[in-house]
């Protein structure tokens, strides 16, 4: 009986010695958690201002990216030029012709349509910053209705447009026209490219221009000479005319532009691609 009791106590001591490290570790963990909870400062409660700022942060993260058209407009707007002309037969207070142009280089050369400036006695340019200048004819390409004019007093900050590659576009691609229809400065319209290699007959001269880009972005008198742009804001053409079976000066859905690589031939320039 005594030997049995001694044996049981030996087994108990052996179990206690084996469990002691685990118990010590558990006790240390509990003590660590207790001390951390005791020493760590409690977080400050959220104020009404904190809640509002968090809500605004979440709303800002949910704001959609700007549209392609708005980005195109911001890109081209500093390069757009309003062209006002007075013809040989106009009096000092007579009718003023309107058109558009686009700055193409740092030398203040501007591409536009020849029919906008060809017969003008006086040309006035208005730039994005509101400054004004006269203009000189640099070159002309009558068979494409393209003219290159140069500002006699360019603005202090000159921002040429980025010239694109019309050969990289296809029917159905976005097309944007920015100009000054009816003198409404820096107006934008959006549409698609409707076709290529079209032939357009100039209503004034009867000259036929082939290889034109057809598009359906709205253009009206005053858009002539302005840029046609792709979704990246690159100039792919110079707006030349529109078709209207009624012979009235308003848009019915068919506009034409001279491809920019062709327009650059007027000044002996090579395409930028």
Positions marked catalytic: 115, 145, 224
42, 54, 175 from 45: Cα distances, Å: 9, 14, 54
In whole angstroms, give the CA distance from residue 191 to residue 173.
9
In whole angstroms, give the CA distance from residue 18 to residue 7.
17
CB count, 10 Å around CB of 257? Answer: 32
The answer to whether the CB of 127 falls within 8 A of the CB of 105 is no
Ramachandran angles phi, psi of 115, nearest 5°: -70, -15
In whole angstroms, give the CA distance from residue 214 to residue 223.
15
Ramachandran angles phi, psi of 182, nearest 5°: 55, 25
CB count, 10 Å around CB of 112? Answer: 29
């Amino acid at each position: 009986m005594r030997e049995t009791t001694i044996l049981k106590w030996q087994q108990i001591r052996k179990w206690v010695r084996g469990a002691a490290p685990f118990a010590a570790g558990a006790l240390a963990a509990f003590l660590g958690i207790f001390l951390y909870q005791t020493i760590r400062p409690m977080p400050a409660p959220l104020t009404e201002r904190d809640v509002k700022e968090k809500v605004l942060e979440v709303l800002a993260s949910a704001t959609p990216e700007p549209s392609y058209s708005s980005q195109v407009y911001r890109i081209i707007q500093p390069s757009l030029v309003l062209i006002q002309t007075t013809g040989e037969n106009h009096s000092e207070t007579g009718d003023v012709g309107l058109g558009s142009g686009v700055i193409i280089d740092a030398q203040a050369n501007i591409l536009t349509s020849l029919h906008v400036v060809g017969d003008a006695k006086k040309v006035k340019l208005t730039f994005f910053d509101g400054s004004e200048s006269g203009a000189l004819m640099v070159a002309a390409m009558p068979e494409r209705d393209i003219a290159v004019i140069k500002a006699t007093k360019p603005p202090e900050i000159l921002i040429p447009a980025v010239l694109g590659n019309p050969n990289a576009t296809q029917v159905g691609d976005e097309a944007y026209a920015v100009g000054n229809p009816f003198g409404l400065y820096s107006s934008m319209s959006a549409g698609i490219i409707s076709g290529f290699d079209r032939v357009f007959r100039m209503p004034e001269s009867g000259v036929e221009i082939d290889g034109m880009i057809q598009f359906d972005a709205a253009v009206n008198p005053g858009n002539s000479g302005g840029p046609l742009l792709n979704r990246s804001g690159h100039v792919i053409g110079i707006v030349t005319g529109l078709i209207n079976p009624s012979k009235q000066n308003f848009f019915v859905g068919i506009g034409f532009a001279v491809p920019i690589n062709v327009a650059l031939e007027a000044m002996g320039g090579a395409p930028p691609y």
